[in-house]
Every structure is written in C-alpha cells, then in structure tokens.
Homo-oligomer: A and B are copies of this chain.
Amino acid sequence: MAFGEFDLIETYFTHRLPKRDDVEIGIGDDGAVTRVPDNSDLVIVTDTMVQGVHFDEDTPARAVGHKIVAVNLSDLAAMGAEPAWISLAISLPQVNQEWLTGFAHGLREICDYYSCQLIGGDTTQGPLSITVTAHGFVPRGKAVRRDGAKPGDWLYVSGTLGDAGLALAARQHRRKLNPDYQRRLTERLYFPSPRVALGQSLRGIASSAIDVSDGLLADIKHVLKASHVGARISVDELPLSMALTESLSAEDALTYALTSGDDYELLFTVPESQRGLFDTVTAHSPSKPVCIGRITSDAEVLQLRHGDEPWELPETAHGFEHFSASAIESD
C-alpha cells in the first residue's frame, strides 16, 4: 500500500479493464468480494513467471502481460472451467512506464477477450516476477480431472506441438529459421492461445485432461500416474505445423513436438462411448484436436509407435530441452 511511486501502478491496471456483475468489490479495498454462481464449483489456479527463468529481457512487455494470463487460463481450460477473475502480484525492480504500459496492454487484451476481471493484487519492489491466480467456474461436479483416464480411451491433443519450443531455440541461437517461420513461431511462444472454449466443451465428454506446458511426454506422465494407466502414442499422428516440419528433420520435429515446452495445448482422453458426441461438439473447433493414440492398462507405461514399429527419442533428445523456458517449473 500507498508509498511513493509504486502507487502509480494502480493507474495502469484499474482503468479500462472489463467489469463483471459477479464482482461486488474490486481493486481498492483490503480484498475483493465476489460471487460464485449457484450450483457451480470454483476452480483456482496459480502460475508464476520470473524474468531470466520463464522469459528473457528481450521479451516484449505486452507478451509478458498476455502470457501470464494465458498460462493461467490454460490451466482453467484443462479443468473445463470458464474464466472469471484474476489476481495479479507483480514485483518490479523499478517503475518503468514504458514496460508497464506494454505489460498492462497485453494483460488487458486477453482479459477483455475472455471477460476476465482483474480484482486485486499486490505490487512490490523486487526482481521482476509475476504471479497470477485465476478463478473460474464449472457446473457442480463437472470439473475435468487428471485421474479419470481408462484403458481403451482415445488420446487427443489440440493445436500443433513444438512450435514455441522451436521459437525459443531460434531466439537462443540454437536453431536458425527463415524470417517468416521465425515470426509465426515466435507469435506462438509469446502469445499462446489458451484452449478455453475447447476445455469447456470437454465437460462430461473427456475422461481426463491436462494442459501441455512442459512438453507432451512430461505432461502425459502426470495423467498416466494419476489415472494408473499407460498409453500408446502414434508419433505419425502428432500434429505438427508446416513451420516446424519445414525447418527441421523429421526426427528433430518429433523431438520438439514431444519434449519442448510452452505449447499450452490440451491433452485429453475420450471414452469410446463419448466419441460420437465429441466429434460433433468439436467438428468446428479452431484448435482442431486430433487423435494420437490410446490408453492402455499398463500402469505408467508409455509406448511410442511409428507405423507398427516401436519408436524411441533420439539419444541426443534426452534432456536437450531442459533449457526450455519452463524446464524447472513445478506445480
């Protein structure tokens, strides 16, 4: 509260943000006062981004503002929740008006798009770090969990995989891309699209879901562990962008798709009995989920297949994406 220039910051965040009817008291008191709709559960998620760990100094402030909200909405999407409110805790080394303007712009754009209200937070001096806690609703008992996958369920993933990871590699001079691909992939790294609509459409249809933030192989393990099942994935079915396949060898493209982070796609399982309904509901989904495999009964065993043959990550791939932005993140 209320000493010196840090007060100024309020001006960046309290104006021109969406206002919702379910917020009784927003920014400006000791806390926000909100209302959860009747017969709804409240879903709460938290993600932190630290400069030097999750983004570098060259990352545009607008991208940082967008992404800290997007990664939280991606977690809400994985639960099937509709976004409602966010709290923002931000530590800044000093008050840099240009940076704050850009950051607030990015944050406001995505909040506007999803009708998500900033309801409060905290501003402190310190190394640049941002934590957002996002709140959303699901109809009571309808949250999509990690632990519901059953043998025989079909395994799906949305969008395309590996794009953000390749963009990061190019920015870090580990890969060279043509300028057009570089631009398109960097857009995926800086301005990920959380699969909010898809997530909500999976309620009552998907048996489990998770968002792909640390790489498909890392994230699917959480589902297999929580659900006590295994999975067989056909690497031929992995959705890859043209920018990825034209910039890399086939093997490297698959390695990026399987191991690099920051995709923010949804990985989920659909029982055979729900597959027709699923196809109908997602027929026109812009995130185009595709079937990449099936759940098995071999607890925590993951098989990768290329045609009818087993497929393995190249030796060099093991650990190679541990430089990725979220490699050391944990939740």
Contact = CB atoms under 8 A, between A and B. Distances in A.
Given A30-B78, A35-B41, A122-B46, A2 B211 contact: no
Given A131-B131, A133-B87, A218 B329 contact: no
Count of identical protomers in the assembly: 2
Given A35-B42, A120-B45, A214 B328 contact: no
Nearest to A141: B24
A36 B31 contact: no
Interface in A1-32: 1-4, 6-7, 9-10, 24-25, 28-32
A91 B226 contact: no
Interface string A24-56: 110011111111101001111111111011100
Given A48-B89, A50-B124, A124-B328, 9 more contacts: A2-B221, A3-B214, A9-B330, A32-B44, A32-B45, A46-B121, A50-B127, A122-B331, A124-B329
A78 to B, nearest CB: 4
B329 A6 contact: yes
A131 B146 CA distance: 26
A135 to B, nearest CB: 7
A224 interface: no
A39 to B, nearest CB: 10
